[in-house]
Amino acid sequence: MPRKFRALAPALVLGLLAACSRSPGEAVVPPSPHALAAIVVHAENAHDEQAWDGVVEAVHEAVISAQTNARVVELPHDVNDAVRKGDVLVRFSDVEQQSARRAAQAQIAAAQAAYTEADASWRRFAEIYGKGFVSKAQFDAERARRDAAQAALQSAQAQSSQIGQQLDYTVLRAPYDGIVTRRYVQVGEAVQAGPPAPQPLIALASLQDLRVAVQVPQSAIAAIRRYHAASVVLDDGRRVAATRVTVFPYADAQTHSFTVRLELPGGDTGLYPGMTVKVAFASGKTKRLLLPLVALVQRGELAGVYVLGEHGVMLRQLRLGHRHGDRIEVLAGLDDGERIAADPAAAARWLAAQRRGATP
């Protein structure tokens, strides 16, 4: 037990014993305000901040386009569907691609047979050429025929590989885990790979890795580069600290502002691509008075704390700033070193007992 609370324990025990010995009609005397659990608030060293609006972006975001001419036969997923890496996003008809593949395989077989025959003939000529039974011109002609058959075989194999790639394009799969954000086509629609440009099919974004892009005036860039610390302030006051701050090495020629990119930690932060958020950048040193949220008293739009002073307990209104984890910044209403009630409910009961006429 802390020393300051250990000293208060005998007084609390005596108060409880005295309460048990009173008759039902006697007034209950509240304990001294010094018996209430207290927190002494102190100003802490912190960064001074400047804030600008930013836009949340997905680190992994892509629009998948058509790479072959075909007709859509299957769209397994719609907008807002979660997909895993490798899941089928679009399936096309493959009648033409299958026919082309069979034709390419037949062409390879014919080219292979022609090369086998030409190679065997060249080998026979090479054997008898060494014995002087054929001329060099005949030998060179057989070798040229063999080389031409080999080139035709390689050409047929390359064409088959290209057709196989076109067949693979009839099934498009998710390149990573993500969410379908948009569908550009419907089942039964014919798509073109181009020209002038490939036709977009489906848009995918990953919500695991997010970042925020902020346009910052050039006058603030020096401080941002010095401290490299920033956090996103959420609507409820919570903060998400950036894991990395990147300042682009050039300014926009029209606005003379720099783009600053913040990488956010993974997990459920409540942020989604396209949202506008407030971003606070460290810009200097300052003192900040932080108050535990558990000690805060909310009365509608007003906020305050129970201050423990020499003359009792007093509810004091505060002007608050940004939230920092489980604490919130006090801008006005509280001074460094003051004691506040750690349990607002206990302090409220003390004041209620005092108003009923009890002598504290």
CATH of domain 51-60+208-286: 2.40.30.170
Rounded distance between C-alpha atoms, residue 63 and residue 170, angstroms = 16
pTM over 0.85: no
Which two structure tokens, joined as six digits, stand for 188? Answer: 């039964």
- Whether the bond between 200 and the residue before it is cis, its omega within 30 degrees of 0, is no
Taking each helix axis from N to C end, the angle separating 136-168 and 95-129, rounded to the nearest 10 degrees, works out to: 160
Which two structure tokens, joined as six digits, stand for 47? Answer: 């960064």
**Those residues with Cβ within 8 angstroms of residue 251's Cβ, 6 or more apart along the chain or in another chain:** 218, 257, 258
Rounded distance between C-alpha atoms, residue 260 and residue 242, angstroms = 12
* Class of CATH domain 62-205: mainly beta
CATH fold of 3-44+288-355, please? 2.40.420
Taking the CA atoms of 187, 189, 190 and 196 in sequence, report the sign of the dihedral they define.
negative
- Residue ranges in 169-249 assigned as alpha helix (H): 221-227
Q: How many CB atoms lie within 10 A of CB 94?
A: 20
Tell the residue number behind the tokens 């001419």, with chain if given.
69
Rounded distance between C-alpha atoms, residue 271 and residue 93, angstroms = 38
Contact 285, 48 (CB under 8 A): yes
Please name which of 119, 59, 62, 89 lies closest in space to residue 273, comparing C-alpha atoms.
59
- Residue ranges in the chain assigned as alpha helix (H): 3-21, 95-129, 136-168, 221-227, 344-355
Please name which of 88, 84, 92, 87 lies closest in space to residue 66, comparing C-alpha atoms.
92
According to CATH, where is 2.40.30.170 located in the chain? 51-60+208-286
Radius of gyration of the chain, Cα coordinates, nearest whole angstrom: 39
Mean pLDDT in runs of 10 for the chain (360 residues)?
Answer: 38 35 44 69 75 92 88 92 92 81 86 91 85 83 91 88 77 91 92 85 91 94 89 83 92 92 86 90 80 81 81 79 76 80 80 67
According to CATH, where is 2.40.420.20 located in the chain? 3-44+288-355
What pLDDT shows up at residue 79?
Answer: 92
According to CATH, where is 2.40.50.100 located in the chain? 62-205
Reported for 259-263, long-range contacts at CB under 8 A and 24+ positions apart, including other chains, are: 259/213, 259/214, 259/215, 259/216, 260/213, 260/214, 260/215, 260/216, 260/221, 260/224, 260/230, 261/211, 261/212, 261/213, 261/214, 262/54, 262/211, 262/212, 262/214, 262/230, 262/232, 263/59, 263/209, 263/211
Reported residue count of the chain is 360
Contact 249, 241 (CB under 8 A): no
- Whether the bond between 195 and the residue before it is cis, its omega within 30 degrees of 0, is yes
What pLDDT shows up at residue 279?
Answer: 93
